[in-house]
Amino acid sequence: MVDLLVIEDDDRIRLALLLALEDEGYTVRSACTAEEGLQLQHMSPADTVLVDLMLPGIDGFECVRQLRRHDDVPIVVVSARDDTHDIVAALESGADDYLVKPVAVKELSARLRALRRRARSSATTPAPVWLFGDLEIIPDAGEVRLRNKPVALTRTEFRLVCELAEHSGMVLTRQQLLQRVWGYDVGDERLVDVHVGRLRQKIEQDPRAPVHLVTVRGMGYKLQR
């Protein structure tokens, strides 16, 4: 049974999500503020957290940042805000996915299943060690090292760099990466761009002039030695 935590201040939406997700077979706990949700997650960690952005007190962006500082739990932002700036900001805060309200529960459930599949496959799939100059990727240990120092990545960032490393030198389109890393047949390609940007901040000496994780204009991304 998958345990979800829903952080949503609107009573009507929170109850609707709770009932609909329980009908999908999830165990669901809820909180109406970020402060309450953070405390619940600290005391009894959920498998996945759903966060609204427009929360009283601590807003959703800060809630995601605080969750991510201490937890690698998959985080999905569910918000009425559909501006590109908000989506990018939420993903840069550490969210794994972003859905715009009103949300179809079947689509949300499909996204949650994809997150769970990613978590399982990353934990069970053996792979070699990849070297890209001073960048070392060790999938079986769940580690990435830069100049022999560990790099702290989220689960999604780790899967992304492993997918690119496995296809070293090959260009992968944004749609291919959505399918292989996120498990989505259809999705917002901004997910890929934002996570590539975050990954560059961590693995490139100069993220504005990347040496390893490069853009192939009009095609996609590749990881090169």
**Residue 2 pLDDT > 70:** yes
Asked if residues 184 and 178 have their Cβ atoms less than 8 Å apart, the reply is yes
pLDDT of 141: 83
pLDDT tens for each residue of 163-209: 999 999 899 999 999 988 888 776 778 889 989 999 999 999 899 99
Distance between CA atoms of residues 85 and 83, nearest Å: 5
pLDDT of 127: 59
pLDDT tens for each residue of 22-62: 999 999 999 999 999 999 999 999 999 999 999 999 999 99
Q: Which long-range contacts (CB under 8 A, 24 or more apart) does 24-28 make?
A: 24/105, 24/109, 25/1, 26/1, 26/2, 26/112, 27/1, 27/2, 27/3, 28/3, 28/4
Residue with the two structure tokens 């499909």:
110
pLDDT of 188: 78
| Complete domains list, the chain, with CATH | 3-121 (3.40.50.2300), 125-223 (1.10.10.10)
pLDDT of 120: 57
pLDDT classification of 124: cutoffs 50, 70, 90: very low
Asked if residues 44 and 22 have their Cβ atoms less than 8 Å apart, the reply is no
Asked if residues 12 and 35 have their Cβ atoms less than 8 Å apart, the reply is no
Closest CA to 156 of 178, 127, 188: 178
User: Strand pairing partners for 31?
Assistant: 7
pLDDT classification of 106: cutoffs 50, 70, 90: confident
Distance between CA atoms of residues 55 and 163, nearest Å: 35
> What residues contact residue 146 under an 8 Å CB cut-off, 6+ apart?
134, 135, 136, 202, 203
- What pTM value is reported for the model? 0.70
Centre a 10 Å sphere on the Cβ of residue 81 and count the other Cβ atoms it contains: 17
pLDDT tens for each residue of 139-162: 888 899 999 899 988 888 998 999
pLDDT of 119: 60
Please tell me what DSSP assigns to residue 142.
T
**Residue 126 pLDDT > 70:** no
Q: Taking the mean position of all CA atoms in its chain, how far away is CA 202? A: 16
Q: Is 218 exposed, middle or buried (0-12, 13-18, 19+ CB in 10 A)?
A: exposed
